[in-house]
Structure 1
Amino acid sequence: MAAVPVAALLGVTALAPLPFAVAQPGGTADVLGEYKGKPVLSISGAQLRKTEGELRMTTIVATGPQMDVRLGDVIDGWFRTDRAVMPKDSVYPDGDDVKEVERHNLGDMRESQDDATKAALGYLRANGVDGTDKIKVKADLGKIGGPSAGLFLSLGIIDKLDGDGSGGDLTGGRAIAGSGTIAANGKIGAVGGVALKTQAAARDGATVFLVPKAECSDAEAEKPKGLRLVPVTTLASTVDALRALRKGEDVPSC
């Protein structure tokens, strides 16, 4: 008789919503180009370079804060390499209100854009580029929220204004992807979801993925074949790594 209530309990569990979100690889955007028909970076106050290659920031998409995730979804996510099951409050720490979550994420993005601009211009000043006080930057990634595009916005600004500092592109003509927050002083921070972001990067043609050093093991977990992982810690060391990569020199790997 004990099997009856156990079976009933399992049945209820399978039907009940659980406090998880299921994430998967999202879109990517080349910060040197356009996103949804608009330039990602609009820069005034200086002459811009013509760039080649791509600098692709990466995203993940997750079930919404008000969507029910059930036991079957969780089990499916655990056994698929292109899905990740995450506690809902780690994805949506501000609750279940969709509009409030969107406002919070877009606020994080605006703050990230400001820090990315400060970091990039600070780097250029430190490397002898004149006139940075006259430069104004506006970034537009539509409704993409969160702070994880910060590193790539900084790299895009540097590439458009100064390239590798010797007349070449930071990308070396490659499709470079990655993720990372950035502080105004150029320090790169962790972002989460990098195992899914590497898949988005490879899907969209990237051959190199810049990953915050602390997340190397996560990025290695489901790394697509042919994608090179380069660990990064600061904006300056990231530019150095891209220069070395372009020249065919040794570059750190995860």
Structure 2
Amino acid sequence: MLSRLTRLPRPTALAVCAAPVLALFAVAALAPLPFVVAVPGPTADVLGSDQGKPVITVTGAPVRDTKGQLRMTTIRATGPSSSMKLHELVDHWFRSDQAVMPREAVYPTGGSDKEIEQHNLEEMSQSQSAAEAAALGYLHKDPKSVKVDLNLADVGGPSAGLLFTLGIVDKIDGDGSGGDLTGGRSIAGTGTISADGTVGAVGGVGLKTQAARRDGATVFLVPKAECSDAKSELPEGLQLIPVTSLTDAVDALRALNRGEGVPSC
């Protein structure tokens, strides 16, 4: 025997259906969400000094006086243990000077704040070793004879690798280049580096371009795979140059100094 369904009046039915939806929105509005807010961070000239000590020190090879700047760029994000609610997320979402990012995109390793800080410092150390290997390989210098010391406090992660490498290349004299890389400009950029000179993507490039322009850069080296992200919020007066390798970056800067055309995004 079929049971008989009772038809509710339409307004009552709508109210009954809406109740779970409203409850869901209420929970979502109050629940912490796995996102962080990032903003443009400080930049640092790797050709300069940090806390009274040169960022790059070379022994075992002649070094030249450099002109201009090579500025590595950073972002600052809320901590890995922080959380945001839906209304806070909406407040930050539409601001061009901030980015709402998935927590795992900024802190992929998870763990406590202290564990993540230690991981970032280890990544920075590995990045510096790769930068030294890539630069000396490019310059055909014997790593047993030429030593490089890199000193930059309060910065973690691997994204300064490309700029460290370019700084070493620019510092070491006798590479047959006939001049420094910057041509007196303020050059900024980002990108990981591997020992063979391959440049890798890093994330947060839209915010890093803002940091670069804020601190006076006119040229920004960006991993080619992140061109579209870099263009999305590109500050006026900042020229983007896409690169996939150390050779790309050096060749582009040399061409820029000669007044020749360079790649663009």
Q: What's the TM-score bracket when you normalise by the shorter of the two chains?
A: over 0.9
Which of residues 27, 30, 42 is equivalent to 2:45?
30
Alpha-carbon deviations, 1:85-111, whole Å to 9, x = none?
Answer: 111122112224011001111111111
Q: Distance in 2 between matches of 1:207 and 1:156?
A: 17
Q: What stretches of structure 1 of length at least 5 have no aligned partner?
A: none
- 2:113 aligned residue: 98
Q: Distance in 1 between matches of 2:88 and 2:111?
A: 19
- 1:168 aligned residue: 179
What secondary structure sits across from 2:119 in the alignment? Answer: helix
Q: Distance in 2 between matches of 1:75 and 1:7?
A: 18
- 1:112 aligned residue: 127
The one-letter code sitting in structure 2 at the alignment partner of 1:31 is: V
The one-letter code sitting in structure 1 at the alignment partner of 2:156 is: G
The one-letter code sitting in structure 1 at the alignment partner of 2:65 is: K
- The total of aligned residue pairs comes to 250
Which of residues 206, 213, 217 is equivalent to 1:195?
206
Which of residues 139, 153, 157 is equivalent to 2:164?
153
- 2:67 aligned residue: 52
How much does 1:216 deviate?
0.6
Q: Distance in 2 between matches of 1:118 and 1:176?
A: 22
Q: Based on CA coordinates, which of the two structures has the bigger radius of gyration?
A: 2
Q: Distance in 1 between matches of 2:118 and 2:130?
A: 18
Retained in 2: the 8 A contact 1:164–1:239?
Answer: no
Deviation larger for 188-197 or 29-38: 29-38
TM (norm. structure 1) is 0.92
- 2:81 aligned residue: 66
Retained in 1: the 8 A contact 2:62–2:173?
Answer: no
Confirm whether residue 83 of structure 1 aligns to residue 98 of structure 2: yes
Retained in 2: the 8 A contact 1:163–1:169?
Answer: no
Alpha-carbon deviations, 1:155-200, whole Å to 9, x = none?
Answer: 0001010387343210000000000111100111111111110000
Retained in 2: the 8 A contact 1:23–1:86?
Answer: yes
Structure 1 pair 164–82 and aligned structure 2 pair: CA distance change class (3 A): farther
The alignment's C-alpha RMSD in Å is: 1.8
What secondary structure sits across from 1:69 in the alignment? Answer: coil
- 1:213 aligned residue: 224
What secondary structure sits across from 2:221 in the alignment? Answer: strand
Alpha-carbon deviations, 1:132-161, whole Å to 9, x = none?
Answer: 541111112212111110000010001010
The one-letter code sitting in structure 2 at the alignment partner of 1:45 is: G
Retained in 1: the 8 A contact 2:133–2:143?
Answer: no
Q: Distance in 2 between matches of 1:204 and 1:138?
A: 25
What secondary structure sits across from 2:104 in the alignment? Answer: helix
What secondary structure sits across from 1:169 in the alignment? Answer: coil
Deviation larger for 90-99 or 185-194: 90-99
- 1:16 aligned residue: 31
The one-letter code sitting in structure 2 at the alignment partner of 1:161 is: I
TM (norm. structure 2) is 0.89
- Mapping for residues 120-131 of structure 1, pairs under 5 Å: 120-125=135-140
Retained in 1: the 8 A contact 2:139–2:175?
Answer: no
The one-letter code sitting in structure 2 at the alignment partner of 1:79 is: F
Consecutive aligned runs of 4 or more in structure 1 exceeding 2 Å deviation: 1-16, 35-38, 130-133, 162-167
What secondary structure sits across from 2:90 in the alignment? Answer: helix
Q: Distance in 2 between matches of 1:49 and 1:184?
A: 24
